[in-house]
Amino acid sequence: MRKTTAIILLIAAFILCGQLFAQVITAKELAGIMDDENVVIVSGRSEKDYNTVHIKGAVHVLPDDLCKPGDIKGILKSPDDIATIFGDKGISNTNTIVVYCNKGVAAGRLFWIFDYLGCENIKFLDGQMKAWRKARKPVTKSATEIVPATFEATPNPDLIATMAYVKSHLDDDGVILVDTRSVEEFNGEKGEASRKGHIPGAVHFEYKNVVDDDGYIKPKADIEKALKAAGITSDKEIILYCETSARAGVVYMVLKYILGYPNVKVYDGGIYEWAATASNPME
């Protein structure tokens, strides 16, 4: 009986591992599915970079284009407005969506947005554009021919935190607020928000703990070691933030889909919104 139970647990572990890592795709794996009509490749690189060269067939979506105009940067437009943008780019919520950029940050932001809006099959290209070029896979300068699609947004409120939600959980022992910016930004030595510093009670865990400078996901053991050092554990609700939720997005993808953290949110307004509200405390 014990032997049978052990075998079942082992099989379950392998299945879970496969499910968790399914959201990260290599250049070789992407090359094998890129011609599938249900696969949409989304580039989050700058317009200049995209026009210079991009993965063959990729459509261009800048995370900033999905955000409201105004003094506070990085706050998402309404789900319906974003759905219209995606549909006009030929992206359906039923597609297999592969996101990439240069270093993984914009791709992380896009990954979280697609996940928040209810897409069920999103993949993050490991190593980003550099890995694709290194593997000598197809690229082009030509614009991708777009066939408009229908994108039905079904936003998941469990994946997003508002400013009010963050404020109401500052003293909640069951919640860990995580600042994914640089240590200099966290300490108030630099930053572009109206006030410098961090949200009270936040712990520092820079996004570079999960992804290297070329956009490759770091070894799982190294990430787990860094999380342990920061006191970030999977039994708590995790709320991630940065400036415009880009760096937070890539950490979100890793915590939820590589490490299996069950309760992870992104504070979309980030430090820009928090600091712009004079009554909000800062450290």
The mean pLDDT values, 10 residues at a time, for the chain of 283 residues are 42 39 91 97 98 98 96 95 99 99 97 98 98 98 96 98 98 98 97 95 98 96 98 98 96 98 98 96 96
Domain-terminating residue out of 105, 140, 175 = 140
- Quick: pLDDT tens for 244-255: 999 999 999 999
Asked if residue 193 and residue 106 are part of one domain, the reply reads: no
Q: What is the CATH number of the domain that holds 218?
A: 3.40.250.10
Write phi, then psi, for 181 (nearest 5 degrees). Answer: -80, -175
Is-contact 11 119, C-beta < 8 A? no
- What's the longest Cα–Cα distance across the chain? 63
Give CB contacts under 8 A, 24+ apart, made by 58-63.
58/100, 58/144, 59/89, 59/90, 59/91, 59/144, 59/146, 60/89, 60/144, 61/85, 61/86, 61/89, 61/91, 61/110, 62/106, 63/106, 63/109, 63/110, 63/113, 63/244, 63/246
Residue 21, pLDDT score:
57
Identify whether 272 is part of a domain. yes
In terms of phi and psi (left: phi > 0; alpha: psi -120 to 50; beta: otherwise), the region of 244 is alpha
Within this chain, do residues 93 and 175 fall inside the same structural domain, yes or no?
Answer: no
Contact 258, 20 (CB under 8 A): yes
Query: Inter-axis angle of helices 105-116 and 246-257, to 10 degrees?
Result: 70
Residue 283 lies in a domain: no
Whether residue 2 is contained in a domain is answered as no
Q: How far apart (Å, rounded) are the C-alpha atoms in residues 168 and 208?
A: 29
Q: Which two tokens stand for residue 146?
A: 């777009």
Predicted confidence at residue 22, as pLDDT, reads: 77
**226 within some domain:** yes
Task: Count up the domains in the chain and report the number.
Answer: 2
Query: pLDDT digit string (tens) for 81-124?
Result: 999 999 999 999 999 999 999 999 999 999 999 999 999 999 99
Q: Which domain holds residue 233?
A: 157-276
The pTM score is 0.92
Same domain, 226 and 179: yes
Q: Does the residue 229 lie in any domain?
A: yes
15 found inside a domain? no
